[in-house]
Structure 1
C-alpha cells in the first residue's frame, strides 16, 4: 500500500514492464548513442549475422570471455578488400558489453578489424537488431545511405577548407620552378616530390574564382611511395577541383603570364572530382 492507502500493485507492474523494455532496448549497443552515419564512419567491417555462441570464440588467437560471441555471417555489407569474409563464415565479435547478445539474435554489426589469422575477429562499435529478409534489404540500403551521407559530410567539410573551387580543364603541365631557401641549398632525396604545375582554365568559378581565369596548381610528379594516391594532372583533363593555397612545396607563389600569382595544391583524393560533380558541390555549398 502507498501512504495514501492506494494499492501499489499496478504501479509496480508498470515499473517492471518499463524496466524490461529499457533492458531490451539496451541490447542495441552503440546504436542508441550514435547515428547510423557515425557507426558507419567508425567501422571498417559491417555485417549482418546471427549469434551462434556466447562466451566463445571461433579464432584460436582470441581468449574466450564474457564479452566474446561467435556470429555466423548472413551478409557482408562492408569490408576491406584484403579481408576474406563471406556468407556462412563464423566471426568472433568482442562486444561492448557482456550479456548484450544471446544465441539466435540476428543483428547488423558495426565493427573494427581486430585479429586476422585462422579466422576473423572484430571489435564491436555498435549493433542494430535485424531479423527478416525485408529488414536485411532495408539495412543494406540504410548502410549505403549512411555511407553517402558520411561522404557528403566529409566533402562539405573539405569544400569549406578550400580557398577556391572550380570546374575547368587542364591546359598545360610543366615542371615547377621553386626557389631554393637562401639559408639552405635545395636537397634531393628519394622522396623528393618532383613538383609539377598544372595550368587550369576555369570554366565555372564555384567558389573564389571567375570563369576565364587561369590558376596554377602544383602536384607531385614523383612515383615514390610517399606520394602514392595523390592526384595527378594531365593536359586535357576536365574536372571539378578543390584548390588549397600551397603550403607544402615551400613557395606559395608561382609565375603565369609573366606575373607572380598564388600557387595552389590539390593533394587530397577529394580535391579532384569529375566534371559532373560540380552540381553536387554547389548543392553542398548551399546546404546549411
Structure 2
C-alpha cells in the first residue's frame, strides 16, 4: 500500500502556512454532532448544518490559555468555503473569533485533511514543550522579519552607547516623548548606515500606540532595523524606531541572510 501522508503534507504546505497565519487556534478534531452546540447560551434556532460540535483530539497551535483543550468539545461554525461534515469525520481545523465562557465557540477559517499534518504531529511528539505547528509559526515570523527588513532604510548590528531625552513638548497624553539613542555600528548589513556611530530616535512613551516599539538600554547589542527620520525630527537624528520588530537579537542576522 502506498503511503499518501507525505504526499498530502507536501501538497498542503503552502496552504498550511497561509492557514496558520490567519488562524489563532488550530487542532485535530473529530465531529461529534452536526447542527448542535456545546454553548448553553446558543439557542437551537441559531444552529444549522454548518454548526458542529467537535472533540479536540490534539491542539496544533494556540494562545497559551488554550493549549490544554485536548479532549474537550467546542462549537465550530464551519466555513462556507469548506465541505459539509458528518459525525465521525476527522480533520485539522483552523479557527479564530473565539467565544469563551461556559464553553468555547470558534469560527472556521479553513480546513486540511488530517493526513496533511501528521508529519508535524509526529515531529512535535519528540520535541519537549512544542506544539505541532510551532515550527510553522517560527517560519512565518522569520518570513515577516525578512520582509520588514526589506522595507528598512538601514539594517545594522550595533551596541547602544548613549541615551538622552530630547525634551520636546508633549501636546497630548498619547505623545511619543522622543528620546535619542547613540548606536555604535559594528556591521552595516544594508541600507545607508555605515560602521561607526549613528543616532536613532525612539518613543519612550508607554502609551498603547508606542509601548511595543523597542526601548534601547545602555550596552544593548542587537540587530537594528532603522527607518529614515522625516519632517522636523530629521534634524535630531537620521533614523528612528517605529515597529516592534525594529530590534532583534544579533543572531537573527543569519535569518535575513538565508532569505536573500
- The equivalent residue for 2:166 is 176
The reply to whether residue 56 of structure 1 matches residue 75 of structure 2 is: no
Q: Which digits, 9 at most, give the CA deviation of each residue in 1:102-141, with x for residues without a partner?
A: 2112211111124222111111111112269955724857
**Contact conserved, 1:45 with 1:111, CA < 8 A, in 2?**
yes
The reply to whether residue 126 of structure 1 matches residue 136 of structure 2 is: no
TM-score by length of 1: 0.74
1:170 and 1:157, CA in 2 relative to 1: closer, same or farther beyond 3 A? Answer: same
The reply to whether residue 157 of structure 1 matches residue 147 of structure 2 is: yes
Q: Which digits, 9 at most, give the CA deviation of each residue in 1:43-95, with x for residues without a partner?
A: 01111111111111111334211101101111222223355852111111111
SS across alignment from 2:250: coil
- The equivalent residue for 2:4 is none
Q: Which digits, 9 at most, give the CA deviation of each residue in 1:180-216, with x for residues without a partner?
A: xxxxxx5532222211011111101100256532221
SS across alignment from 1:77: strand
**Contact conserved, 1:66 with 1:99, CA < 8 A, in 2?**
no
**Contact conserved, 2:146 with 2:255, CA < 8 A, in 1?**
no
Match of 2:26 among 46, 70, 83: 46
In 2, distance between residues paired with 1:251 and 1:156? 27
- The equivalent residue for 1:190 is 173
SS across alignment from 1:236: coil
Q: Which digits, 9 at most, give the CA deviation of each residue in 1:196-252, with x for residues without a partner?
A: 0111111011002565322211111223333222210011000001101124x8512
TM-score by length of 2: 0.81
CA RMSD for the aligned pairs?
A: 2.9
In 1, distance between residues paired with 2:224 and 2:79? 41
1:177 and 1:187, CA in 2 relative to 1: closer, same or farther beyond 3 A? Answer: closer
The reply to whether residue 145 of structure 1 matches residue 135 of structure 2 is: yes
Structure 2 unpaired stretches of 5+: 1-7, 125-130
The reply to whether residue 66 of structure 1 matches residue 49 of structure 2 is: yes
In 1, distance between residues paired with 2:224 and 2:164? 18
**Contact conserved, 1:45 with 1:113, CA < 8 A, in 2?**
no
Aligned length: 241
- The equivalent residue for 2:128 is none
The reply to whether residue 109 of structure 1 matches residue 99 of structure 2 is: no
The reply to whether residue 264 of structure 1 matches residue 234 of structure 2 is: no
1:64 and 1:269, CA in 2 relative to 1: closer, same or farther beyond 3 A? Answer: same
In 2, distance between residues paired with 1:133 and 1:150? 17
Structure 1 unpaired stretches of 5+: 1-27, 179-185, 255-261
In 1, distance between residues paired with 2:117 and 2:19? 22
Higher Rg of the two aligned structures: 1
In 2, distance between residues paired with 1:40 and 1:156? 18
The reply to whether residue 252 of structure 1 matches residue 227 of structure 2 is: no
